[in-house]
Structure 1
Amino acid sequence: MRGLGDHLSIGERIAFYRKRRGYTQEVLAGLVGYSTDWLAKIETGRRKPPRIDMLAELSRILRLPLGDLLG
């Protein structure tokens, strides 16, 4: 995650990489089988970060190493 900075939360990293991939919240949420509201809350820190298995699925869909989401 070079250049992104260590100060970003997991949710902020998900949002960054989602946008970089060109996905809307609706598209990414649908790909993982959750609601847009769920993803929005994750990205804004209003919900705890997802479990490691969901983070692994998000990293697979976003085509990046899991470590990039974890920081």
Structure 2
Amino acid sequence: MKPEDLETLVTRKMPFGKYEGWIIADLPGPYLNWFAREGFPNGEIGQLLQLMHEIDHNGLSDLLTPLRQR
């Protein structure tokens, strides 16, 4: 993970699926859990989803609040 990845979580939109167009940081926990069970996609989007899953799963979503306010 790079520090810039945290900022990307609050700006990048989900490019496909049920929540297409949602900011990755706003994706619901159950959706992130589904990816954790079924497998994350390859590439940058998969890495971002995996990072967001870890943040959400460990109750650290408040870390993103200051980045959202920029």
Scaled by the length of structure 2, what TM-score is found?
A: 0.29
Q: Which has the higher contact order (CA 8 A, sep 6+)?
A: 1
Normalising to structure 1: TM-score of the pair?
A: 0.29
